[in-house]
Structure 1
Amino acid sequence: MLAIWGLITILGMIVAIASRRVSPLIALFLFPVIACLMAGFGLKTAQFALSGLVSIAPVVAMFLFAILFFGVLTDAGTIEPFLKILLRRIGKNPVLIVPGTALLALLLHLDGSGAVVFLVAIPTLLPLYQELGMDRRILACAVSLAAGVNFLPWTGPTIRAASALHTTPLALFKPLIPVQIVGLVYVFAVAVYLGHKESRRIGQTNSMPIPTSTIAIIARPGSRVLFACNLILAAAVLGLVISGKVEPAIVFMLGTTLALLLNFGSVREQSKAIDRHAKAALSMSAILCSAGVFTGILKGSGMLAAMAKASIAHIPPGFAPHIPLVLGLVAMPLSLLFDPDSFYFGILPVLAAAVQSFGLPAASVAEAALLGQMTTGFPVSPLTPATFLVTGLSEIELSTHQRFAGPFLLGASVVMTIAAVLFHVIPL
């Protein structure tokens, strides 16, 4: 019976979010609470919910302060010099412009926000693409590839996967570092290929510099000393986070406070800087808290274990070891069917519990999912608003973007899945 209640909870949550009648925050909280009460757990429901909140608190704090940290550094102009140099270097040669587009998107994606990448990179480079007669689909494809493959520990899918399995984002991300490097090589290989192809099409190979007026990056001016201090701070924070020697949430909290003190001299300026990024940070943090309640109730009530047990009965023992591999190969297309909250908080925990029963690590399915589900898949998924930013800013139709960029994004997912097998991240 618990398996049925768990299934009702997950399906209800997925349908509610997909129908857009309620927000993920409401669906993730309300459905498990109602199901747990109806299953007869009474006031124990609150205990289960609280245990989920406690387990997810470090992840919420890390996400919240990571967004604020990178937002403050961006406001301070830390990234601006690199972007200006890049845009001047690529000139008006398509062979350089397309890889430069991908590199620009990677730099902009340091804060983990795909929307920021698209809002800055596409308007900045669109006039250049139009001036040279370059295909706007290539612009949309290049920024999508770079943002999709760049799944950092503080990006949404990684945070969700870690929250669903009650582990740390860094624990999932570290084994994937060599896999992501392979993915980035693929991104730039595709960018070079598209650049050469476009160069031949339009017959343009000169490398004239881009006028300064074309460079539309806006940031807070600062001295060279301040810029150097921000750069050192960013390197120190990222180094500590990746090293794993200090809890990431504490590192980002410290980094945020130091960045605010360095760049904004008054309480008023510091408050404004926080306010500029608070909406994005708090919105996702609230959803993560609801997700903690969701997984806490499903786990504490035994619904998750019951669903996993029921699933195991229908999985041939010979197929079980291949579940992570299959998931990695289909993860990108699954982005067209499941929004990130439904998949990572509804589907992933069941898959993880199922593979654990066959002796496989739960992390293997999470890492497989991160190779495509709302990473390489999000820029073409109609379930995410960022997709419509790409198409709207690039002035192309969604179907056109999906047909052009989709195969390249799927290719990135497949290449990384193969790399994950070779690096023994995904069992074969």
Structure 2
Amino acid sequence: MSLSLIGFITIIVITALLISGKVTPIVAMVLPPILGALIAGFGYSEIGGFFESGVSSVINVAIMFIFAIIFFGIMQDVGLFDPIINKLVSLSHGSIITVTVGTVVVAAIAQLDGSGASTFLITIPALLPLYKRLKMNPYLLLLLIAGSASIMNMLPWAGPLGRVASVLEMGVTELWKPLIPIQIFGMVLMLVLAVFLGMREKRRIVKAYGSLEAAAALEAEVEEKDEKYALEMANPHARPKLLWINALLALLVLGVLVSGIIPAGLAFMIGVSIALPINFREVKDQMERLRAHAPNALTMASIILAAGLFLGILNGTGMLEAIANDVVKVMPTAIGPFLHIIVGMLGVPFDLVLSTDAYYFALFPVVDQIAATYGVASISTGYAMIIGNIVGTFVSPLAPAVWLALGLAGLEMGRHLRYSLFWMWGLSVVLVLTAVLISLI
């Protein structure tokens, strides 16, 4: 059996397992490539070498993920972002457009820890009562949170960049820096979209209820309910007296990260080591916070390490190169140089049928190898696939955080797709074309 065929079958099996949800990504990315290597005639010692090579290429990314997730988890715990979020919520009373714009800003702040689940847990309970009070469509709330959080998901400690960096064997901060203009432009587009959809929603409410006043409750009632909600949701870990110290610490860590003077993993490791004793004097309290965030941190790190094995085997055995060579033979020559852009523009639909791991660890390496035969740089393919796909992260039914959001808001996946897919795909295409225009792709 040819290396190309074994590689194809291996990738298809991994993708099918990831889509099925029957096993964890670790199982899907460890067993099939090992079996594929054995079938291809490689011995255990050679597979061990592929493992060491693959894991060594992603270990720095895994370390960065562990400490970044813990650091921003602690910052969320101590209430660093609470004053901003609370102020935005209070300012948005009664104004539809202010509510929609505030939703985008609040979601962006909440997504700073790189966790979609925590973003939905923070934003939906805080904003859904306001949407209901003003008779606004809750699917609009989900659309704005999903779009804003997805663009913020380009941060280096979020999942997609870490996956691509591990495939390309490069530093995740180095990969992120050129994406900053796209991220800023994406957030501007989300704010414009929030204004446009807010105006559309305002017209709908006026048409349905006669006026905004008739649809909305009295301001005093809203404030009373918000006060009651704030009391119920009091955070036992909040450290309001240490707000400015924590803000300074977060800014310093981010500054060091962007400057690149030390590795990203070390920057977050130092940040965690300072944040814990400042905010929690007792050792048991510090350990409790570590235990609270360890599951998210270790889950992501373990997936990255498993991907290191998978990529180490596919590269070491020559399967990826064989696949690329065979696909190039049958692909129309005119398509080849633009394959990465085409796949990037289809990134959101791909998100509906491929999990994040399948997209970045199975599809991306193949597209990269094919595009490389036409002289396309690997990093250019990576940017095309990140930018095209990332906006659809929280529209995909394969993303667990989306189901959490639907449960919190009491909404349906089908209606969420119908309401959000057009806008998210359009935003994705605009961002890909923008990246092409500025020569990032």
TM-score by length of 2: 0.92
Alpha-carbon distance in structure 1 between the residues aligned to 2:219 and 2:438:
42
Q: Is the 8 A contact 2:340 2:367 kept in 1?
A: no
Alpha-carbon distance in structure 2 between the residues aligned to 1:297 and 1:325:
27
User: Measured at CA, do residues 92 and 84 of structure 1 come closer, stay the same or move farther in structure 2, by a change above 3 Å?
Assistant: same
2:62 to 57, 60, 63: 60
Q: Is the 8 A contact 1:91 1:97 kept in 2?
A: yes
Q: Which runs of 5+ in 2 are unaligned?
A: 206-210
Q: Is the 8 A contact 1:127 1:214 kept in 2?
A: no
Match of 1:394 in 2: 409
Alpha-carbon distance in structure 1 between the residues aligned to 2:325 and 2:234:
53
Q: Is the 8 A contact 1:180 1:416 kept in 2?
A: no
Match of 2:102 in 1: 100
Match of 1:277 in 2: 293
One-letter code aligned to 2:59? A
One-letter code aligned to 1:14? T
Q: Is the 8 A contact 2:79 2:240 kept in 1?
A: no
Match of 2:144 in 1: 142
Match of 1:49 in 2: 51
Say which is worse superposed, 95-104 or 204-213, in terms of deviation.
204-213
1:132 to 122, 131, 134: 134
1:228 to 238, 241, 244: 244
Q: Match of 1:154, SS? A: coil
What is the CA deviation profile of residues 181-207 of structure 1, one whole-angstrom value per residue up to 9, with x for unaligned ones?
111111111111121222233232799
Q: Is the 8 A contact 1:335 1:372 kept in 2?
A: no
One-letter code aligned to 1:260? L
Alpha-carbon distance in structure 1 between the residues aligned to 2:380 and 2:174:
11
What is the CA deviation profile of residues 197-225 of structure 1, one whole-angstrom value per residue up to 9, with x for unaligned ones?
2223323279958523344473623253x
One-letter code aligned to 1:168? G
Q: Which runs of 5+ in 1 are unaligned?
A: none
Q: Is the 8 A contact 1:136 1:395 kept in 2?
A: no
Match of 1:12 in 2: 13
Q: Is the 8 A contact 2:53 2:312 kept in 1?
A: yes
Match of 2:208 in 1: none
1:118 aligns with 2:134: no
TM superposition shift of 1:18: 1.8
User: Measured at CA, do residues 346 and 4 of structure 1 come closer, stay the same or move farther in structure 2, by a change above 3 Å?
Assistant: same
Match of 1:247 in 2: 263
Q: Is the 8 A contact 1:93 1:199 kept in 2?
A: no
What is the CA deviation profile of residues 204-257 of structure 1, one whole-angstrom value per residue up to 9, with x for unaligned ones?
279958523344473623253x21111111011111112222211111111111
User: Measured at CA, do residues 20 and 201 of structure 1 come closer, stay the same or move farther in structure 2, by a change above 3 Å?
Assistant: closer
Aligned residues: 424
What is the CA deviation profile of residues 145-197 of structure 1, one whole-angstrom value per residue up to 9, with x for unaligned ones?
11112121111111111112222222322221111211111111111112122
User: Measured at CA, do residues 338 and 223 of structure 1 come closer, stay the same or move farther in structure 2, by a change above 3 Å?
Assistant: closer
Alpha-carbon distance in structure 2 between the residues aligned to 1:419 and 1:170:
21
Q: Is the 8 A contact 1:98 1:142 kept in 2?
A: yes
TM superposition shift of 1:23: 1.4
One-letter code aligned to 2:399? T
What is the CA deviation profile of residues 334-370 of structure 1, one whole-angstrom value per residue up to 9, with x for unaligned ones?
1011101111111111111221222111011111111
1:213 aligns with 2:217: no
2:168 to 147, 165, 168: 165
User: Measured at CA, do residues 16 and 69 of structure 1 come closer, stay the same or move farther in structure 2, by a change above 3 Å?
Assistant: same
Match of 1:328 in 2: 344
1:33 aligns with 2:49: no
One-letter code aligned to 1:218? N
Q: Match of 2:27, SS? A: helix
One-letter code aligned to 1:418? L
Q: Is the 8 A contact 2:19 2:353 kept in 1?
A: no
Alpha-carbon distance in structure 2 between the residues aligned to 1:326 and 1:317:
14
Q: Is the 8 A contact 1:149 1:183 kept in 2?
A: yes
